[in-house]
Structure 1
Amino acid sequence: MKIPLDYICVKSGLLCNRCQSMIDRGEVESFEVEVMKILLDLEETQFKELKDTTYHKAFKLNNLLILIVTSGPSMTYQKWIKVAKILQDKLGVKVRILEKSNNIKSTASQLLTPARVLGVNTVWLPDGTVQYVVRVSKYEKKFLPADETSLEAALSKIHSIPVRIRVE
């Protein structure tokens, strides 16, 4: 698995100057080192398919951990579900693994599953900024994996642009 930190630093837990400076600058959060270590262990033991996968970022919000990855050709959705389940057991939080995408609708669909996304609206605010509104059916609100504010914060962090969830 391709990760932003050095393999040796993650495996040993002792960070070199470069890796420590990445954490100090906020490019990598300190909890991500543990996540990367578990993923590298899984690559060695159970999931050889993780070798061609790229780890981009992890976000932790309340009781939800969101991993942004790019899958290799042999990594299937079912295998990602198993990896998420193992991470959930080891870390004690809900885990969602998302494919990296610049499309907000694609990311929202992956994050909000099993609830369906009806659409994504672009709202142009008077000050010239843009905000996105992800629409979800009121009948599927109960299927959301977390509360709306956490999911809004997650989508906003992932895309670095304000995102709101509207239940209609």
Structure 2
Amino acid sequence: MKIPLDYLCVKSGLLCNRCQSLVDSGQVDPSEIDIMRILLELEETQFKELKDATYYKAIKVDNLLILLVSGGPSMTIQKWIKVAKALQDKLGMKVRIIEKTSNIKNSAIQLLSPARVLGVNTVWLPDGSVQYVIRISKAEKKLLPADAPDLETALSKIHDTRVKIRVE
């Protein structure tokens, strides 16, 4: 698996100057090192397909961990679900793995599943910024993997823009 830090640094826990500067600058959170270590262990033991995958970021919101990745040609959705389950068992928290994409609707569909996304509205605010409103039905609110405000925070961090979830 391709990761932002050096393999040796992640496995040993001792960071070289380059890796330490990435952690100090905030590009890599210190808690992500353990996640990367577990992913590398899973690649060696259970999931050889992770060799072609790329890890980008982990976002922790309440008791939900969201991993941004891109898979190789051999990685299917079912395999990502198995990797998420293995991570869930090792970390003791809910894990959701989503493919990195610039499309907010695709990210929302992956993150909010099994709740269905009715649509995504773009709201242009008076200050010139953009806010996205993701609409889901009231009947499917209970299917969300976490609280709506937590999911809004996660999607906002993923896309670096304001995101709201509206239940209608």
Q: Same fold by TM-score, threshold 0.5 exceeded?
A: yes
**How far did 1:32 drift?**
0.5
Distance 1:103 1:80 in 2: 20
Match in the other structure for 2:167: 167
Q: Show the counterpart of 1:54.
A: 54
Question: In the TM superposition, what whole-angstrom CA distance separates every residue of 1:136-159 from its partner, at most 9, and x where no partner exists?
Answer: 000100000000100000000000
Offset of residue 77 of structure 1: 1.1
Deviations 1:67-86 (A, max 9, x none): 00000001111111111011
TM-score with structure 1 length normalisation?
A: 0.99
Amino acid in structure 2 at the alignment position of 1:54: T
* TM-superposition CA deviations, 1:76-107 (whole Å, max 9, x none): 11111111011111111100000010000000
Alpha-carbon displacement from aligned partner over 1:90-133 (angstroms, at most 9, x marks no partner): 11110000001000000000000000000000001111111000
**Alignment map for 1:4-153 (pairs within 5 Å):** 4-153=4-153
Name structure 1 gaps, 5 residues minimum: none
Q: Residue 28 of structure 2 aligns to a residue in which SS?
A: coil
**Unmatched 5+ stretches in structure 2:** none
TM-score by length of 2: 0.99
Output the CA distance in 2 between the equivalents of 1:10 and 1:66. Answer: 20
Aligned length: 168
CA RMSD in angstroms, aligned pairs only = 0.5
